[in-house]
Amino acid sequence: MGRAKEIIVKVIPSKIGNAFIKNHHYSGKVVNNSVLHFGAFLDGTLHGVLSYGSPLDKRKVLPLVQPCLWNEMLELNRMAFDEYLPKYSESRCIAISIKLLKRNAPHIKWLISYADGCQCGDGTIYRASGFVLTSVKVNSTLGTLNGKVVADFTFEKGIHILKNNGKAAAPKEFKMMAGFQLRYIYLIDKTCKITVPILPFSKIDEIGAGMYKGKRITLQERKQAIEA
Amino acid sequence: MKTPNPKPAPAKTPAAKIEYRQLSTLKKLPNNPRTLKDDAFKKLCASIKDNADYFEARPLILSDRTGELIILAGNMRFEAAKYNGLKEAPTILLRGLSEEKEREIVVRDNVSSGQFDWDILSSEAWGTDMQLAAWDVPLPMVYNSEGFGEDFTLASGDRAPFQQMTFTLADEQAERIKGAIANVRVQQGTECGNENGNGNKLHQIVLEWAEQKK
């Protein structure tokens, strides 16, 4: 693990976390309903941020794990790291953040996170951190409008609706991006049950959803590259 | 050769003094180009509440050019003072300003000049990054781990058995619904524990509609 072991993870205010995410996350966007931000410090300085919050569609997400009350799960919605952090930093930070969740919020039973297989990756870090894959589906939310990447639910928000005669729909110019969205789940409370099928990671290559650092590449090709 | 008489030095205008004035006698600047978002406004209210001395050191700047006491600088502080229930505020009245000079004061008051020396600001004397961030200092992207901890709390348990619903309506529809809500009488025992009056009235309208459909 090398220098990644030296990383210290601390709770930071959202103002600092969000500013860092805006500067370092590939999307340049923060998730507004984040409630918890962890900072990853190496050599005493902030080099990464993980943010947790409620999923936007919590009612749909809650039944994925049972039993689970309203406040007993979180979404890991953003991870942004700068170039200073060494290899394995992401999984190291996820592990520490889970440890801190267990200590400070023992009622949190599970975590959900999504890998953006349109622009970023297929979830290498989640797999390395012990998350299980529960869904691989063709992207149906992320698209582009005037050269910018936006989620379709953006158009269901007030100002867009008011501009659109009350209609909550994306404009014609909105083009859905090609790619996949992958859903990962991590059970903190191992007595809970995941209610949907757990997919083998090989499913990613089967469907053609492999992506690493924004480039289409299968898990198999990556494995071969490492072995070579 | 006779030396010409030197021009007399212009008479100095007496320095304007801070004077506490009733908020009700002041007028906000029409067409003010400055705005403040909700969360920033709440912070300003808290700041004025907690730092009365600082408020006096930065009084509202007024002009009487139009015959009314118009606030050139400090419109947001004026709003915050009203929000906090203050009856008066520290002011300085600048007399005899031209309209152009007024515009200049309005804009200049909101242009930030100067910059922080981050080496000095990051010394212990100025507080931790956490404190500085809370004071809205636009910190650079370099934070050290000191001042941050590992503890936090998160809400637990189930959600409250209440929810908010949002609809988009045409103005005409909205007026009709508001009218119906204003006129309906809630039947006792239908509240389901809800203490929101409009929610109960809307529910009553639906109950009556369902009854008619039978």
**DSSP string covering A127-183:** HHTT-EEEEEEE--SEEEETTEEEEGGGGGSHHHHHHTTT-----TT-EEPSSEEEE
Is A33 near chain B, with CB under 8 Å? no
Tell whether the model's pLDDT for residue B138 goes beyond 70: no
Q: Provide the number of CB pairs (under 8 Å) joining chain A to chain B.
A: 85
Q: Predicted confidence band at B115 (pLDDT cuts at 50, 70, 90)?
A: low
The structural domains of chain A, ordered by start, are 2-136+181-227 (3.40.630.30), 140-177 (no CATH)
B145-199 pLDDT, tens per residue?
888 999 999 999 998 889 999 888 999 999 999 999 999 999 999 999 999 999 9
Tell whether the model's pLDDT for residue B11 goes beyond 60: no
Tell whether the model's pLDDT for residue B64 goes beyond 80: yes
**What is the distance in angstroms between the Cα of B108 and the nearest Cα belonging to chain A?**
28
Token code pair at residue A45: 């300085």
Tell whether the model's pLDDT for residue A207 goes beyond 50: yes
Q: What does the pLDDT average to over B115-127?
A: 65
Full DSSP string of B134-158: HTT----S--BSTT-BS------SP
Facing residue for A69 by CB, picked from B150, B158, B168: B158
The amino acid at B17: K
A67: preceding bond cis by omega (within 30 degrees): yes
Q: What long-range pairs does B53-60 form, CB within 8 A, spacing at least 24?
A: B55/B81, B55/B89, B55/B90, B56/B18, B56/B90, B59/B18, B59/B89, B59/B90, B59/B91, B59/B92, B60/B26, B60/B89, B60/B90, B60/B91, B60/B92
Tell whether the model's pLDDT for residue B3 goes beyond 70: no
Q: Predicted confidence band at B133 (pLDDT cuts at 50, 70, 90)?
A: low
**What is the distance in angstroms between the Cα of B103 and the nearest Cα belonging to chain A?**
32
Q: Quick check: pTM over 0.80?
A: no
Tell whether the model's pLDDT for residue A187 goes beyond 90: yes
A21: closest chain B residue by CA: B141
Q: Is B22 exposed, middle or buried (CB count within 10 Å of its CB: 0-12, 13-18, 19+)?
A: exposed
A72-120 pLDDT, tens per residue?
999 999 999 998 999 999 999 999 999 999 999 999 999 999 999 999 9
In sequence order, what are the beta bridge partners of A73?
A110
Within 169-208 of A, beta carbons closer than 8 Å to B belong to: none
Q: Which of B83, B74, B137, B79 is nearest to B110 (CA)?
A: B74
**What is the distance in angstroms between the Cα of B152 and the nearest Cα belonging to chain A?**
6
Full DSSP string of A54-123: --TTHHHHGGGEES--TTSEEEEEEEEE-TTS-TTHHHHHHHHHHHHHHHH-TT--EEEEEEEETTT-S-
Of the listed ranges A136-150, A201-215, B108-122, the least confidently predicted one is B108-122
Tell whether the model's pLDDT for residue B212 goes beyond 60: yes
pLDDT at B93 (0 to 100): 93
> In the 8-state DSSP scheme, what is residue A199?
B
Q: What does the pLDDT average to over A183-200?
A: 98
Q: Which of A126-130, A221-225, B118-122 has the highest mean pLDDT?
A: A126-130
Antiparallel, parallel or unpaired: β B69-73 and B26-27 = parallel
pLDDT at B130 (0 to 100): 62
pLDDT at A228 (0 to 100): 80
Tell whether the model's pLDDT for residue B2 goes beyond 70: no
Is B151 near chain A, with CB under 8 Å? yes
Q: Using the beta-carbon criterion (under 8 Å), do B151 and A11 form an inter-chain contact?
A: yes
Tokens 């071969």 map to which residue?
A224
A131-180 pLDDT, tens per residue?
999 999 999 889 998 888 888 888 877 777 777 788 878 888 899 999 99
CA A120 from chain centre, in angstroms, equals 10
Is B170 near chain A, with CB under 8 Å? yes
A14: closest chain B residue by CA: B133
